């Protein structure tokens, strides 16, 4: 090991020791103010996929943490140290539920030592030791116009880099990283949407999801919700209380999201969409979204011609008390994408016939192809502080990975615990394992020297990409949450000849 690598490893070990010492020795942080005057509520996911829709939110798990001690009320009354996401923040929020104003800052530093690599291509993760730091700054705003309508607008700024500029791994290490380093660093409108409620009954319930994406303190129990505008689909689809948020939870792309869900999005993870949710009751929710697809794979520009390119997304969410009367959640997802996508088999055949110098997925006339897939997502608390979760996903793998990442099949299992067990109410710790794979045509395409928008080592000795991730998030003071993380990636980019990759991380998250 080089002197530089040894020094980095030693620094990580020292940081781990300091943070875990703090976790064990500090007294539990107390939230100032009258917490009983408000309802605990989760905040949504944010984005970009890389930055993806997970980065702008506090975990929905944190709302569940507070529900035992904070009875719901008709009007949410945030206190100076408690955001409506159920966790402490730096500054007080508006007590009036007509207005929402909050912010977040997420800084992630990662490093990996040198790893084995007999060869590399233009899309390979560099085998030399490297480090990188990313940042995401988000301002959430909202205005409730009537008792049934509201306008939501979020501004975001991103900067820094990911190791290897987010190339070479299907399950990349940092969800906050924008995959195109040439994008402008200027602030941009991440979300701008109209939210409308249509009541279907007289019974009303407290809004346990109150936050930047829903300002209402109360909602009809049976209702239709309509959203229209710019959004990230994974703010609403494929959510998971235990694994969905790069601010306070896991960092890997295919742990926080279903890797096989090639959801419609531009490079930053946003799209223009119309979404309808039907809430039959608190146990059954059905949602549908029609969204714009990018003009090219991983492109920043969206195709506004719905006859040529679009995405349909459907998810059924079921909730039921199961183990020890703890409420489990099952989400069943399907999507159909229509876009100018290439076909892996055609690209391989054209290369073998001598029509192209290498397999080229984009070497085809303008066309509309269809890519479809399915996903399942579950979460199950086992007691008041510990739970398990998992995902499964599959897409047809015939057409090119187009919007999220190069995964055609995925399986995930994980555990999550909150710090109340050891007297640290707002601490959290998690461990997850995910295994990603690609179709046979996709394998052959990469093996013959083809390149996707993320992967391409020039050749391929195929094996599934297996990932283990662990983290510990510590609540230090008010809205300051440092965290240590560790990821182990075997067969990076599905290549048995390269790796494994070991990547520790240090994250600083601020809630405002």
Residue 452, token pair as written in the block: 């996707």
Output the pLDDT for position 75.
Answer: 32
At 93-115, the pLDDT tens digits run 877 789 999 999 999 999 999 99
Positive/negative CA dihedral, 421, 422, 425, 428: negative
In the chain, the largest separation of any two C-alpha atoms, in whole Å, equals: 73
Instruction: Report pLDDT digits (tens) over 434-485.
Output: 999 999 999 999 999 999 999 999 999 999 999 999 999 999 999 999 999 9
Residues 6+ apart with CB under 8 A from 375: 238, 258, 260, 261, 331, 332, 333, 334, 335, 391, 392, 393, 394
Q: Residues 248, 429: contact at Cβ < 8 Å? A: no
Q: Is 301 helix (H, G, I), strand (E, B) or coil?
A: coil
pTM here is 0.84
**b/e per residue 397-408 (b: at least 16 CB within 10 A):** bbbbbbbbbbbb
Per the CB < 8 A criterion, the answer to whether 277 and 489 are in contact is no
Judge whether residue 1 has pLDDT over 80: no
Mean pLDDT rounded to a whole number for the chain: 86
Asked if 89 and 57 touch (Cβ cutoff 8 Å), the reply is no
Q: What is the pLDDT of residues 254-288, one digit of tens each?
A: 999 999 999 999 999 999 999 999 999 999 999 99
Three-class DSSP category at 266: coil
Omega before 48 cis (within 30°)? yes
């Amino acid at each position: 090991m080089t002197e530089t690598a040894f020094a980095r490893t030693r620094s990580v070990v020292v940081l781990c020791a300091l943070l875990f010492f703090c976790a064990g020795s500090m007294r539990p942080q107390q939230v100032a103010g009258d917490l009983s005057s408000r309802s605990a509520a989760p905040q949504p996911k944010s984005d970009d996929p890389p930055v993806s829709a997970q980065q702008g939110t506090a975990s929905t798990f944190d709302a569940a943490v507070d529900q035992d001690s904070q009875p719901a009320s008709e009007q949410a009354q945030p206190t100076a140290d408690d955001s409506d996401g159920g966790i402490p923040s730096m500054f007080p929020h508006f007590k009036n539920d007509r207005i929402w104003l909050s912010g977040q800052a997420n800084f992630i530093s990662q490093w990996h030592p040198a790893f084995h690599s007999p060869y590399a291509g233009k899309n390979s993760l560099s085998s030399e030791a490297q480090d990188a730091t990313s940042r995401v700054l988000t301002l959430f705003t909202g205005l409730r116009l009537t008792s049934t309508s509201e306008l939501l607008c979020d501004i975001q700024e991103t900067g820094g880099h990911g190791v290897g500029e987010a190339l070479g791994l299907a399950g990349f290490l940092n969800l906050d990283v924008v995959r195109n380093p040439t994008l402008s660093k200027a602030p941009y409108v991440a979300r701008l949407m109209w939210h409308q409620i249509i009541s279907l009954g007289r019974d009303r319930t407290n809004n346990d999801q109150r936050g930047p994406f829903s300002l209402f303190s109360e909602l009809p129990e049976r209702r239709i919700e309509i959203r229209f505008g710019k959004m990230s689909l994974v703010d609403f689809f494929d959510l998971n209380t235990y694994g969905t948020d790069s601010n306070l939870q896991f960092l890997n792309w295919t742990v926080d999201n279903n890797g096989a869900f090639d959801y419609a999005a531009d490079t930053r993870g946003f799209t223009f969409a119309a979404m309808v949710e039907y809430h039959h009751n608190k146990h059954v929710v059905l949602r549908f979204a029609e969204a714009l697809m990018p003009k090219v794979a991983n492109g920043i520009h969206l195709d506004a011609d719905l006859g040529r390119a679009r995405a349909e997304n459907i998810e059924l969410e079921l909730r039921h008390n199961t183990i020890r009367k703890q409420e489990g959640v099952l989400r069943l997802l399907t999507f159909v994408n229509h876009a100018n996508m290439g076909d892996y088999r055609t690209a391989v055949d054209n290369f073998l016939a001598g029509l192209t110098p290498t397999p080229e997925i984009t070497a085809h006339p303008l066309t509309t192809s269809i890519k479809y897939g399915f996903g399942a997502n579950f979460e199950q608390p086992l007691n008041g502080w510990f739970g398990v979760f998992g995902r499964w996903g599959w897409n047809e793998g015939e057409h090119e990975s187009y919007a999220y990442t190069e995964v055609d099949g995925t399986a995930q299992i994980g555990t999550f615990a909150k710090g109340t067990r050891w007297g640290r109410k707002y601490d959290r710790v998690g461990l997850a394992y995910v295994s990603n794979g690609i179709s046979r045509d996709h394998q052959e395409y990469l093996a013959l020297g083809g390149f996707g928008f993320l992967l391409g080592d020039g050749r391929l000795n195929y094996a599934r990409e297996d990932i283990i991730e662990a983290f510990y998030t510590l609540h230090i003071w008010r809205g300051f949450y440092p965290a240590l993380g560790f990821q182990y990636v075997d067969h990076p980019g599905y290549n048995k000849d390269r790796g494994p990759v070991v990547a520790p991380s240090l994250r600083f998250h601020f809630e405002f």
